[in-house]
Amino acid sequence: MAAVPGRVRRRICGVLMVLSGAAVVAGTFAGWVRAEIIGEGIRNGSGWRNVHGEVAHGPWIATLGTVVVSVGAVALVARVGRFRWFAALASAGALALGVLEMVDIANPGPGVSAQLLGGLWAVVVGGGLALVGALVLPGGPPRRRTLLE
């Protein structure tokens, strides 16, 4: 099987990063949790407002997703060089924050029953796919050619 040329691989990774970064951003706006709190009833939470009405981690995660989308969009048309590591760190951060939120929801505390919703899954899966795209993305300066090539 022939190796995938750098330009094709760069574009495939760019598309993967744009789509998965967009999933991370969109996931922050979708529902993350439906909680039934004794004495307060059923409440829904997203990345922007938790079940108590306070600002959640959504703005941070959306910012990280936007970094991934930006680097992925640049990778579609040009070499990104070392900027791919910004995308890798941003996607790893989104993935880590998403997993931390999942752990937090899975352990709601006494008097609360919580159900995980799809928005947080979009953040975690999107962050994981974006991380793969950023790590597989070819980087570094262009290879120097000799006169004999």
Q: What is the pLDDT of residues 38-72, one digit of tens each?
A: 877 788 888 888 776 777 889 999 999 999 999 99
What tokens were used for 92?
């790893």
pTM, 2 dp: 0.84
pLDDT at 74 over 80: yes
DSSP H or E segment with residue 27: helix 6-29
Spatial distance between the Cα atoms of 73 and 80, rounded to a whole number of angstroms: 10
6 or 26: which leads in pLDDT: 26
